Amino acid sequence: MSVDLSRFHGVFFEESYEAVNTIETGFLDIDVDNVDPEEINTIFRAAHSIKGGSATFGFTQVAEFTHVMENLLDQIREGKRGLNQDIVDVLLGSVDGLRAMLASAKSNEQLDQEEFAAFIGPLDALLDSNDGPKPTPTVSVTAAETDPSGVTPEVSEDEAAANGETPVGWRIVFTPHKEMMQRGNDPLRLIRELAELGPCEVESDASLIPEWEHFEPLNSYISWTIRLNKYAPRTSIEEIFSWVEDECDLAIVPVLPEVSAPEAAASNDAAAESVMRGQQNVATPVPAGRTEAENSSPAEASPSPAEKVTKAKPKASSAPAESQSIRVDLLKVDSLINMVGELVITQSMLNMLSEDEDLQGNERLQQGLLQLHRQTRALQEGVMQIRMLPISFCFNRFPRMVRDLSRQLSKDIELVMSGENTEVDKTVIEKITDPLVHLVRNSVDHGIETLDERRAAGKSENGTVYLRAYHQVGNIIIEVEDDGKGMDPDALTAKAKRKGLITEDAILTDAQALDLVFLPGFSTKEEASDLSGRGVGMDVVKRNVQALGGSIVLESELGQGTRFTIRLPLTLAIMDGQLVAIEDEVYVVPLVSIIESLQPYQDMVNKVVGLQETIKLRGQYLPVLRLAEALQAPGADYQKPLTEGIVVVVEHENRRFGLFVDDLLSQQQIVIKTLDDNYRPVPGVSGATILGDGRVALILDVGGLAQLQNQADMNYADAG
């Protein structure tokens, strides 16, 4: 049987991981003092769907575990158990447990009993701790499959008809008998208690108040219609009225979520029918006493199993329709992207051929080619879009992380995220997640001060970490900001000197001093902590970001906070490039790095101590790197006067310098190919592309060139 099912495992695991995420997000969003029943329901449904799937596939640990979770959730949902932070902690812990179990189930293993016990123990303990209401007598799915005695199908169907939807509230018609107040019961107190369950709309009917001469002050004449706009278990309402159940007429009617008229009618019919059949039905107004009696009757199995089924099922079947998405193997998408890449190359090749003079006159051909150009671009963009995912795929983990860390550190930290829907290439998301985790962790651990420090600094006790994502001209910008203590450039400089990372006499600007954090072997905290880093962090973060073709900038204001800004290309597959010529070779400079290009005048050109050539541009001296020399172009004149070529001013990590080339060619969108597939990485080169004529052109890595240049300078200095 498992052989037959195994091909569905992939889908099961994907869906289960999604459900686990839903559970986690649900608990993180929950406000323990004001629980929204719909939130609990969402979590419940997610847990239930994992339970169902895992039981089907025979992952008994997962099934058993989710079953216990479900019981606990059910109690919370029914109001039999309050919710507090500790319970949420235990449940969040169980999310980790679920992940671990799913992971081992994926590799066809099971957690060993100890591990499993460690995860399920706290849940069981919670369940047992409740001495009041017994855990709902649900039967686990595994057992239910073989022995469905727990619930008779008939009951569940009826329940399903009546309870197809969870009530979003209750309408309570409360008509005290005349003598009620004389027996010491105050109707207003009851209504106040009711209001504690959730927001209430109360209408009073005073039509029965008699003429003044017949009025008895001790009699109650007024009746109320109370609309409780929040789900609460029926029992908790009945409890409020339990003292007066013989002294009033009470009707409690569930208010269902807005449903279309026919459905509502149908459910009413069903309700009526089940009443006729003499079965207890919560949807019909019945005297409170009777309902209670029946609820507690042992003959009636708890309605929860049936409820679970009915609630989970419609959701599950409607979910695919809502999201309108399909799962596609990434390899298929990638091969599609590759083919489109080829098409783009062929298209630019045709374009080049059409520039032939013989063809210039053929207007229809030219028009057709223009159309082809537009269509290929549109196709390319569309295909690239398939790989784009909202960055929330990466951001989702942070609320939990910040919450856990700040509790661990006894700090009060709020995480404010924005731009979660910003779309970015899947690969970028995968590769940026670890660096971001590191940055956020750093902000929580090092950035935000302790409560005492914050109080002493006159700041609000709760710190804030901001995580933002947004688009900016072909890039995605991700910012990690905190309102913590900030960094002191002088302290950083001093420390770098102490560690011998810079020379004793180095004079650094503030920006340069902040940049020191990215040096290997630099840790801003004197003592390493469990949480973040022993100084192996920031340089790795920077390397990862650069490997993605991005850059990272650190800004910090002492006492005010720190902000990391990561700039990444939207996709790793295409980019805008400026073609430049060095002798007869063509190279691509990424357009994002280019500030401007110019042909220098003689009086702009300088040489510092006969070594570093510079040009003076608007009062600023920019070092110039001769690309011909850096790339060892054969036959090129390494002494060519700068005035006879073009200087392309580029920026890398806030530093600007010039690249000296012979000529500027066209600007075009290029498909990035890696060299690593068949060759090896080349210093100063980030990849290659295929030009319109089918030839390969190398894409220059501006940051790498800057380093090459630095090394060359140092070698020169050493030699000198």
Partner 1 sequence: MQTQDEKQEEIDQEAVEESEEFLTFRLGQEEYAVSIMRVKEIRAWEPVTRVPHAKPWECGLINVRGAIVPIIDLRKRIGLADLTYTKHTVVIMFGLENAGRERVQGAVVDALTDVARLLPSQVQPSPQLNRGRQVHFAQGVVEHEGRMIVMLDLLKALDAG
Query: Candidates 93-101, 337-345, 529-537, 645-653 — which segment interacts with partner 1 by CB under 8 A?
Result: 337-345
659 touches partner 1 (CB under 8 A): no
**Rounded CA separation 422/139 (Å):** 44
The H or E element spanning position 17 is helix 9-29
Smallest separation (angstroms) from partner 1 to the CB of 340? 11
Residue 153 vs 635, nearer CB to partner 1: 635
| CB-CB contact of 413 with 406 (8 Å) | yes
Residue 76 vs 630, nearer CB to partner 1: 630
Smallest separation (angstroms) from partner 1 to the CB of 650? 17
For 396-426, give the DSSP string: THHHHHHHHHHHHTT--EEEEEE-TT-EEEH
Among residues 342, 453, 644, 663, the one that binds partner 1 under rule CB under 8 A: 342
Alpha helices in 224-303 (DSSP H): 234-240, 261-276, 288-296
Catalytic residue among 15, 24, 41, 48: 48
Phi (first) and psi of residue 306, to 5 degrees: -65, -40
Among residues 32, 683, 713, 716, the one that binds partner 1 under rule CB under 8 A: 683
3-state secondary structure of 130: coil
For 626-665, give the DSSP string: EHHHHTT-TT--TT--GGGSEEEEEEETTEEEEEEESEEE
Residue 549 vs 561, nearer CB to partner 1: 549
**Rounded CA separation 290/301 (Å):** 17
Q: What does the per-residue mask of binding to partner 1 show for 551-590, with x meaning CB under 8 A?
A: ----------------------------------x-----
Query: Candidates 88-96, 552-560, 651-659, 679-687 — which segment interacts with partner 1 by CB under 8 A?
Result: 679-687
As a dihedral over the C-alpha atoms of residue 530, residue 532, residue 534, residue 536, rounded to 10 degrees, the angle is 140
661 touches partner 1 (CB under 8 A): no
675 touches partner 1 (CB under 8 A): yes
Query: Candidates 147-155, 232-240, 336-344, 510-518 — which segment interacts with partner 1 by CB under 8 A?
Result: 336-344
353 touches partner 1 (CB under 8 A): no
Catalytic residue among 70, 78, 479, 613: 70
As a dihedral over the C-alpha atoms of residue 304, residue 305, residue 308, residue 309, rounded to 10 degrees, the angle is -150
Among residues 302, 338, 433, 450, the one that binds partner 1 under rule CB under 8 A: 338
Residue 421 vs 674, nearer CB to partner 1: 674
Smallest separation (angstroms) from partner 1 to the CB of 690? 5
Alpha helices in 136-204 (DSSP H): 141-146, 153-162, 187-195
Among residues 500, 634, 718, 719, the one that binds partner 1 under rule CB under 8 A: 634
CA 25-445-559 angle, to 5 degrees, is 115
Catalytic residue among 41, 163, 281, 442: 442
User: How is residue 455 written in tokens?
Assistant: 């109080």
669 touches partner 1 (CB under 8 A): no
Instruction: Please confirm, yes or no, whether 442 is among the known catalytic residues.
Output: yes
Residue 339 vs 506, nearer CB to partner 1: 339
Query: Candidates 167-175, 211-219, 566-574, 684-692 — which segment interacts with partner 1 by CB under 8 A?
Result: 684-692
CA-wise closest residue to 67 among 130, 167, 145: 145
637 touches partner 1 (CB under 8 A): no
Among residues 632, 638, 717, 720, the one that binds partner 1 under rule CB under 8 A: 632
| CB-CB contact of 56 with 13 (8 Å) | no
Residue 606 vs 707, nearer CB to partner 1: 707
Number of shown-chain residues binding partner 1 (CB under 8 A): 27
Q: What does the per-residue mask of binding to partner 1 show for 101-120, with x meaning CB under 8 A?
A: --------------------
**Rounded CA separation 59/53 (Å):** 8
Instruction: Please confirm, yes or no, whether 70 is among the known catalytic residues.
Output: yes
Residue 219 vs 346, nearer CB to partner 1: 346
Smallest separation (angstroms) from partner 1 to the CB of 43? 41
Among residues 30, 467, 698, 702, the one that binds partner 1 under rule CB under 8 A: 698
Smallest separation (angstroms) from partner 1 to the CB of 703? 16
Among residues 695, 717, 719, 720, the one that binds partner 1 under rule CB under 8 A: 695
**What's the distance, Cα to Cα, between the start and end of the chain in Å?**
77
CA-wise closest residue to 43 among 56, 52, 58, 30: 30
Among residues 21, 673, 707, 712, the one that binds partner 1 under rule CB under 8 A: 673
Residue 434 vs 584, nearer CB to partner 1: 584
**Rounded CA separation 503/523 (Å):** 18
Strand order across the 561-569 sheet: 413-418, 463-472, 475-482, 561-569, 551-557
Residue 133 vs 681, nearer CB to partner 1: 681
Among residues 79, 167, 684, 692, the one that binds partner 1 under rule CB under 8 A: 684
CA-wise closest residue to 174 among 68, 80, 252: 252
Q: HSE-up of 569 (CA within 13 Å, CB side)?
A: 19
Alpha helices in 208-260 (DSSP H): 234-240
Q: How far is CA 583 from the centre of its chain?
A: 49
Among residues 101, 102, 286, 688, the one that binds partner 1 under rule CB under 8 A: 688
Query: Candidates 54-62, 282-290, 302-310, 341-349 — which segment interacts with partner 1 by CB under 8 A?
Result: 341-349
Smallest separation (angstroms) from partner 1 to the CB of 96? 32
Instruction: Please confirm, yes or no, whether 67 is among the known catalytic residues.
Output: no
**Rounded CA separation 279/295 (Å):** 12
For the chain, give the number of residues. 720
CA 258-259-260 angle, to 5 degrees, is 130
Query: Candidates 176-184, 555-563, 630-638, 648-656 — which segment interacts with partner 1 by CB under 8 A?
Result: 630-638
Among residues 206, 678, 719, 720, the one that binds partner 1 under rule CB under 8 A: 678
Residues with a known catalytic role = 48, 70, 442
Which residues of this protein are in contact with partner 1, per CB under 8 A?
338, 341-342, 345, 585, 630-634, 673-675, 677-679, 682-685, 688, 690, 694-698
